[in-house]
Structure 1
Amino acid sequence: MSGRADTDWRPSLPWPGADAHKHARGRLGVVSGKASQTGAARLAARAGLRIGAGVVRILCPPDAAAVIAPAIEAVMLSPFGSPEALAELAEGMHAVVIGPAAGVTDATRANVRALAATGAALIVDADGLTVFEGWPSDLFDVLDRDDVLTPHEGEFRRLFPGLLENGREAAARAAAEKAGAVIVLKGPATVIAAPDGRMATNGNGAPWLATAGTGDVLAGMIGGLTAQRMDSFDAARAAVWMHAEAARGFGPGLIAEDLPDRLPAVLAALYDPRS
């Protein structure tokens, strides 16, 4: 299937029923970087909570806990000291975001691989992608079709050298097949491709998103929808569209911190109480 990522995913949006409780709405983990690099994880976590995940927990190195704790409220916090400890914390989570400001380090590479064994859907972004430059098969070998990679063009070239020479849509489709996961190739017209051949191009891009941290918010949104058991390809398409819609509604002066709190209005416009 190929088409535009407009709103044909609406019927699969996860709305809570009358008997819903927080754990039924999905558990999302977000891995933070070190103490001086916690903002990206906080943006992603808030976005995941705003888009409907019932429980969101930031998983952080021990030195970051004292920095993050005063800056969060409904988002929970758990420190970890090793990849094995991280994987143990992630057991029972439905999705985990890793990469935003995680650091281009051996520890990040080990953390991605440890999380891949937990069964949670992974949303791998930013440093979680760059750290596999030169060794992309080390990443692809641990992914499955429920996982999502969210590269901008620079990160895409690091993992899939040469593919962009064939154009963005062909490149995204080939990358999804090669990685065995959903690809979100970010840009003014973001392309979303699944390993089974489904592909869509987002049609409501907003220039206000060209500012630091907006990609972290998008990763959290995809994670929040995936944690609610939305199909990963549809979750990516929906999140990309809502991300742009939130930005368009805000307009000039947008910064990444504004986006999560614009999501309730976007969601309300999509909600059909008869569904």
Structure 2
Amino acid sequence: MTGSALPDWRDSLPWPGAGTHKHARGRLGVVSGKATQTGAARLAARAGLRIGAGLVRILCPPDAAAVIAPAIEAVMLTPFGSPEALVEACEGMDAVVIGPAAGVTELTQANVRALATTGAALVVDADGLTAFEAWPEGLFEALDRDDVLTPHEGEFRRLFPGLLESGREAAAADAARRAGAVVVLKGPETVIAAPDGRLAVNGNGTPWLATAGSGDVLAGMIGGLVAQRMDSFDAARAAAWMHAEAARGFGPGLIAEDLPERLPGVLAALHEQGS
């Protein structure tokens, strides 16, 4: 494990107790794209399950169900045909990830805004962000302080034009205040900012994460921790660190599918060092 000091969020990690059951460990939903774009949601869902969410369910358009069903095991599956049906499918969910390969469409906008009425904490990533490029206020007004936005710099510029001119840390802090949600500005040194002014920079980044799908895994990890009722800012910090630690432990040849399988080792080391 990188470094000898325990991360200061370690004591907030949601370790299960002797009497814990799956529903007590949190319920995570992950919204999939259409039939030809289901891999991103499957990556996010597996990451959420690996990081400890007790129940993970992929929510998909009806045409995608036949593609996803043979590719999942412990992850559950529910098709939905409208934003209203998506809200119904999310009943009881603690957190929902939306955006990975969701499509840059008005329907994605409608799905994000519908999910905001459910009471579940949202992790909005990728297409869920870009869909609001021309209407960022439509996203921000739907969010609350427990929600998390996970843009890379390109997506950040679309939602918050001009902010990066002030530097990454100042930009993330300003963006979190504007959005009223946690912002995870991804990069070699990922910046995590909360709307209440808390700010952190993840210092263990690694270039092995420069591979397709790694951001989908991070979104699922954050969602899995938030579903377990970890504070969203701490969940984002913890997930960013563990995401990089998993990649560093694998090294050359890493692909996104490898990351969830490295998480048990990272979690075990954290648990052992903290006990």
Q: Give the C-alpha shift of residue 134 in structure 1.
A: 1.4
Read off the aligned partner of 2:39 and give its amino acid letter.
G
Q: Give the C-alpha shift of residue 52 in structure 1.
A: 0.1
Cα deviations by residue, 1:177-227 (Å, 9 ceiling, x for unpaired): 000000000000000000000000000001000010000000000000000
Q: Secondary structure at the match of 2:35?
A: coil
Rounded Cα–Cα distance in structure 2 between residues aligned with 1:63 and 1:54: 27
Read off the aligned partner of 2:23 and give its amino acid letter.
H
The answer on 1:38 being equivalent to 2:38 is yes
Aligned match of 1:101: 101
Q: Give the C-alpha shift of residue 85 in structure 1.
A: 0.3
Aligned match of 1:25: 25
Rounded Cα–Cα distance in structure 2 between residues aligned with 1:211 and 1:265: 21
Read off the aligned partner of 2:267 and give its amino acid letter.
L
Rounded Cα–Cα distance in structure 1 between residues aligned with 2:112 and 2:32: 12
| Aligned pairs for 1:1-275 within 5 A | 7-272=7-272
Q: Give the C-alpha shift of residue 273 in structure 1.
A: 8.9
Q: Secondary structure at the match of 2:184?
A: strand
Q: Give the C-alpha shift of residue 7 in structure 1.
A: 1.2
Q: Secondary structure at the match of 1:24?
A: helix
Q: Give the C-alpha shift of residue 91 in structure 1.
A: 1.6
Q: Give the C-alpha shift of residue 249 in structure 1.
A: 0.1
Structure 2: tracts of 5 or more residues without a match: 1-5
Q: Secondary structure at the match of 1:111?
A: helix
Size of the alignment, in residue pairs?
A: 270
Aligned match of 1:3: none
**Percent of aligned positions that are identical:** 84
Aligned match of 2:3: none
Cα deviations by residue, 1:53-102 (Å, 9 ceiling, x for unpaired): 00000000000000000000000000000000001111210000000000
Rounded Cα–Cα distance in structure 2 between residues aligned with 1:13 and 1:45: 19
Rounded Cα–Cα distance in structure 2 between residues aligned with 1:270 and 1:145: 27
Read off the aligned partner of 2:142 and give its amino acid letter.
V
Read off the aligned partner of 1:213 and give its amino acid letter.
G
Aligned residues of 2:87 and 2:114 also touching (Cα < 8 A)? yes
Read off the aligned partner of 1:269 and give its amino acid letter.
A
Q: Give the C-alpha shift of residue 23 in structure 1.
A: 0.2
Q: Secondary structure at the match of 1:271?
A: helix
Rounded Cα–Cα distance in structure 1 between residues aligned with 2:208 and 2:273: 31
User: Are the structure 2 counterparts of residues 273 and 160 from structure 1 closer, same or farther at C-alpha, using a change threshold of 3 Å?
Assistant: closer
Aligned residues of 2:29 and 2:56 also touching (Cα < 8 A)? yes
Read off the aligned partner of 1:188 and give its amino acid letter.
P
Q: Give the C-alpha shift of residue 272 in structure 1.
A: 4.2
Q: Secondary structure at the match of 1:256?
A: coil
- Give TM-score, length-normalised by structure 1: 0.97
Read off the aligned partner of 1:262 and give its amino acid letter.
R
Read off the aligned partner of 1:135 and give its amino acid letter.
W
Read off the aligned partner of 2:121 and give its amino acid letter.
A
Detail structure 1 runs of 4+ shifted over 3 Å in the superposition: 272-275
Read off the aligned partner of 2:99 and give its amino acid letter.
G
Rounded Cα–Cα distance in structure 1 between residues aligned with 2:60 and 2:21: 26
Rounded Cα–Cα distance in structure 1 between residues aligned with 2:192 and 2:134: 24
Q: Secondary structure at the match of 1:218?
A: helix
Q: Secondary structure at the match of 2:23?
A: coil
Aligned residues of 2:10 and 2:274 also touching (Cα < 8 A)? no
Q: Give the C-alpha shift of residue 158 in structure 1.
A: 0.3
Q: Give the C-alpha shift of residue 274 in structure 1.
A: 7.4
User: Are the structure 2 counterparts of residues 193 and 65 from structure 1 closer, same or farther at C-alpha, using a change threshold of 3 Å?
Assistant: same
